Amino acid sequence: MNKNSKIYIAGHRGMVGSAIWRALTAAGYNNLIGKASKELDLRNQQAVNAFFEAEKPDVVIDAAARVGGILANSDYPYQFLMENLQIQNNLIDAAHKNEVNKFIFLGSSCIYPKLAPQPLKEEYLLTDTLEPTNEWYAIAKIAGVKACEAIRKQFGKDYVSLMPTNLYGPFDNFDLKTSHVLPAMIRKFHEAKENNNAAVTLWGSGSPMREFLHVDDMAQAVLSAVENILPEHLYNVGTGTDLTIKGLAEQIQQTVGHTGEIIWDTSKPDGTPRKLMNVDKLKASGWEAQIVLEEGVKDTYQWFLDNIERFKEVKM
């Protein structure tokens, strides 16, 4: 890949997109393109087509999506399904029509069946039913994977899908109504510490197993896909190790310095019992996660503290 190649990162201001931008810049790529949502509404097919016709990117990285945790998926099922379909379909189709030969589509481990064997392998896709709490988002992402596979099969283009496990890191979403579990815990424990170490109530039993990948490791996986032609259409991206939600809570509590009680609200759903990724295929290509969870949580908490003013207006 030429360092002058024009690379469009959709969603470049989000946690994942900004990490990819940093990684590509550090690797010497100097012709990156990004458009804020106010400049380009990716749900608008006509606007996306016009953008591609004008810019003619060489590579497209789709890090744009409507995302959120269990509560957000439950409250906004139509938006999670329809908006994600619109965003990815517009990007994939415009890229194909404008002769973009390399497209990197980012999804999520939630595309796999709820009770699939562990660790999750790429071939488990569409072998059973999905987890109900996030099936709307998952169905949209599965459609994106299949669209890229179809273009690859029919037209021979280098369209590849990377499915990360739970991501976290700088620029994460710390809004408690829409955030994922790790940033939500960081904020809850921090605010409880500031409130005389008040008790923290967390959803579920704490027993589900989860895997967490620092967003900078994810960005390195994307960089690897940019610089190499991967032989298959779908790759898992993760650490290959997991821990219980209770274990995560205890680690974050220790990092934050909260000494109060943790209360588990078992009336709330746990979600999928376990979601551990098999990452053998991507490891075989030369990529491997480098950031251990303890260090990653410290890094993310420090970023939260450094940017805490932006979160103060969003109440618990």
In terms of Cα–Cα distance, which of 121, 162, 168 is closest to 144?
A: 162
CB 240 within 8 A of CB 277: yes
- Binding-site positions for substrate read 188, 203, 210, 270
Cis status of the peptide bond prior to 170, with omega within 30 of 0: no
CB 137 within 8 A of CB 67: yes
Extents of the domains making up the chain: 7-171+212-241+274-290
The fold for domain 7-171+212-241+274-290 equals Rossmann fold (3.40.50)
Q: Is 118 left (phi over 0), alpha (psi -120 to 50) or beta?
A: beta
| Planar angle of CA 151, 154, 155, nearest 5 degrees | 70
- Binding-site positions for NADP(+) read 11-17, 106-109, 141, 164-167, 180
- Binding-site positions read 11-17, 106-109, 141, 164-167, 180, 188, 203, 210, 270
pTM value is 0.92
Per-residue pLDDT 10s for the chain (316 aa) are 799 999 999 999 999 999 999 999 999 999 999 999 999 999 999 999 999 999 999 999 999 998 776 777 778 899 999 999 999 999 999 999 999 999 999 999 989 998 899 999 999 999 999 988 889 999 999 999 999 999 999 999 999 999 999 999 999 989 887 788 999 999 999 999 999 999 999 999 999 999 999 999 999 999 999 999 999 999 999 999 999 999 999 999 999 999 999 999 999 988 778 889 999 999 999 999 999 999 999 999 999 999 998 877 554 4
CB 170 within 8 A of CB 300: yes
Positions marked catalytic = 137
- According to DSSP, the residues that pair with 8 across neighbouring strands are 33, 60
